Amino acid sequence: MTAILNSDNNTTSTHQWHALDIIWEGGEEQVKQGLPHHQLSPAWQILLLGDGSPTRHLKLLTTENTEVDLIDLSSIDKNKDGAPAQIESVLEPRLRRQVWLRTASGQRLAYAASWWNANHIDKYLENRSLPIWESLSQLYTGLYRDIQGIYHGNSSALEEAFGEKGPFWGRHYLFWHDRKPLTLIYEVFSPYLRKYLGPIS
């Protein structure tokens, strides 16, 4: 993907985001009960199925600050954008934000796409280059991370971006605030994290 920052909220985006080509996927039931350890190791399940902050987890694993490279901010208006079905929970008009999560020294660890109500994003992401968790923590915003699905799949674009061969593991979830959905987030993690978490399966 050619990284394009499009902050013109009046323009409907034709840019793409990095959805995995699915090999296997699980829904809320698999998320709730977990996966067999031969399919996904316990350490990786804590990262993917736990409801804690991924940016906080990545910092604890690497001992480096987790930084964000903002690669796309585009209006998608009423478009469903090929996103998970829970995009219906995000009020229109919508913006899509895409970022790389990386260490301060430059190692890319994850990719994330998120969908926001265009009228609310400035309230919650005043500095759009900060990790979402850090931005919301500064506001003392009470949040609930509601993981809806988990994926195993391929992406040639992510192979190039991470410098790692697929397949990759990802997930999507809703952030809830004051009992209302705030944003939908789709994340994919780099296999480079084997350095800290051990074998994936």
pLDDT of residue 4: 34
In 3D space, the residue among 79, 76, 112 whose CA is nearest the CA of residue 190 turns out to be 112
**CB-based burial label for 33 (10 Å; 0-12, 13-18, 19+):** exposed
- Residue that is written with structure tokens 């004051």 in the block: 178
Which helix (H) or strand (E) is 102 found in, with range? Answer: strand 94-103
The model's confidence at residue 135, banded by pLDDT at 50, 70 and 90, is low
Distances (CA, A) of 165 to 23, 87, 195: 15, 29, 15
Using only the alpha carbons of the chain, give its radius of gyration: 16
Q: The tokens of 43 are what?
A: 């350490």
Model confidence over 47-65: pLDDT tens digits? Answer: 999 988 888 899 999 999 9
| Helix, strand or coil, per DSSP, at residue 65 | coil
Domains of the chain and any CATH numbers: 21-79+86-197 (3.40.1410.10)
The model's confidence at residue 124, banded by pLDDT at 50, 70 and 90, is low
Mean pLDDT check: name the lowest of 16-25, 104-113, 137-146.
137-146
Mean pLDDT over each residue of the chain, to the nearest integer: 85
Residues 6+ apart with CB under 8 A from 112: 98, 99, 101, 185, 186, 187, 188
pLDDT above 90 (res 143): no
pLDDT above 60 (res 70): yes
CA dihedral over 10, 12, 114, 4, signed as positive or negative: negative
Model confidence over 88-101: pLDDT tens digits? Answer: 999 999 999 999 99
